[in-house]
Amino acid sequence: MNSRIVDLEIKTDGRGKLIPLEYPKQLSFPLQRIYYIYDVNNGIVRGRHSHRDLEQILIAVSGSLKVRIKTPFSEEIVTLNDPSKGLYVGPMIWREMLDFSDDAVLLVLASHEYDESDYIRDYEQYKNEADSYFESHKEQK
């Protein structure tokens, strides 16, 4: 699938831990945007969309949450609860973020600026576009 867990290298010394994220050393794409999501109430599901081109890395810098990542062919739930793990999510992956703990802070690193025309928010529309996308990108299925 066009998503994977990325181990982020921790610089540890007697003072604590630090994780640098720099393109092209640790990041596979140059960043144009970051945002973070926190204070999410119980039972809330965020996301529920796909992007056509955007690449992202999701990191739970505090607390825990789950990410449901779906394609027309597969579905997986990933728990993020470790600031040294990133979830890379490539183009044409349907994602939903849920089960945020009270202290969860989800940091998102994004390859492009915010662009509503890159979003697919309707699942039926997503399935149609994803079928043809994965037909021409079979290696990412």
- 108-127 mask for ligand TYD (x: CB under 6 A)? ------x-------------
Do 79 and 101 form a contact (C-beta atoms < 8 A)? no
d(CA 40, CA 70): 22
Q: How far is the CB of 114 from ligand TYD (least distance, A)?
A: 4
* 35 touches ligand TYD by CB under 6 A: yes
Which residues make beta-bridge pairs with 120?
A: 50
The answer to the question of residue 90 lying near ligand TYD (CB under 6 A) is no
Q: Beta 65-70 vs 75-80: how paired, if at all?
A: antiparallel
Q: Identify the residue among 6, 37, 61, 98 touching ligand TYD (CB under 6 A).
A: 37
Residue 98 as a binder of ligand TYD (CB under 6 A): the answer is: no
Helix or strand run (H / E) with residue 77: strand 75-80
User: What amino acid positions are annotated as catalytic residues?
Assistant: 49
